[in-house]
Structure 1
Amino acid sequence: MTLLRRHPVLTACFALALAATLFFGIRTVQRTLYWMDPAHQAQALEPWMTPRYIAHSWLVDGQELAQHLGVPPEPEERPTLETIAKKRGVPLAQVMEEAQAFLDANATRQSE
């Protein structure tokens, strides 16, 4: 209590730094555990998936995948495969095939 009375600003800054460290530390551990789970690695493509999610699951470059699917470099939102198909005016199956072809090509490159 004495420290708080003597150095209120310093104590508040320390508490804020500690809270931020805990928040980001817990978040990092949660994400690490999520992506380490084999059920989340190399998942079969689904319409709800975003290029970023697919990239994490398959360990490929998300920007390259998004570019391959015709997503602008800085999209306003994170589009799903279904949204990408609607915006391009093509069937969902075509976008999923393009994404799968990209993943297959990258798997071949990584195995070489």
Structure 2
Amino acid sequence: MTLLRRHPVLVTCFALALSATLYFGVRTIQRTIYWMDPAHQAQALEPWMTPRYIAHSWLVDGRALARHLGVPPDPKERPTLETIAKKRGVPLAEVIAEAEAFLALHAERQE
């Protein structure tokens, strides 16, 4: 209690820093556990998936995949494959085929 009375700003800053460290540490551990699960690696493409999700699942560059699918770089918007198809006015199967072609090309480069 003495420390808090003598240095309230310092103790408050320390508590905030500790809270932030705990928050980001737990978040990192959760994401690591999620992506280490084999069920989330190299998943078959689904309409609900975003280019970023696909990139995490397949370990490819998400920005390159988004560019390949014609998605403008907007960090606020995360369109799904279904949304991309609707915006482009093409069938969903076409967008999925384009994404699969990108993944196949990238997989060949990694081997």
TM-score for both structures, normalised by structure 2: 0.98
Cα displacement (A) at 1:73? 1.9
Structure 1 stretches lacking a partner, 5+ long: none
SS in 2 for 1:74: coil
Secondary structure at the aligned position of 2:52 is classed as: helix
Question: What is the number of equivalent residue pairs in this alignment?
Answer: 111
Q: Does 1:6 align with 2:6?
A: yes
SS in 2 for 1:108: helix
Pairwise CA RMSD: 0.8
- 1:32-91 residue CA offsets vs partner (Å, 9 max, x unmatched): 110000000000000000000000000000000000000012254100000000000000
Partner of 1:92: 92
Q: How far, CA to CA, are the matches of 2:76 and 2:59 in structure 1?
A: 23
Indicate the percent of aligned positions where both proteins have the same amino acid.
Answer: 81
Please give the secondary structure, in 1, of the residue aligned with 2:86: helix
Give the corresponding residue for 1:43.
Answer: 43
Q: TM-score, normalised by structure 1?
A: 0.97
For 1:20, the equivalent position in structure 2 comes to: 20
- Residue 66, structure 1, aligned to residue 78, structure 2: no
Structure 1 residues 25, 75: closer, same or farther in 2, change over 3 A?
closer
Structure 2 gap ranges (5+): none
Q: 1:75 to 1:17 in 2, by over 3 A?
A: closer
1:74-89 equivalences under 5 Å are 74=74, 76-89=76-89
User: Residue in 1 aligned with 2:106?
Assistant: 106
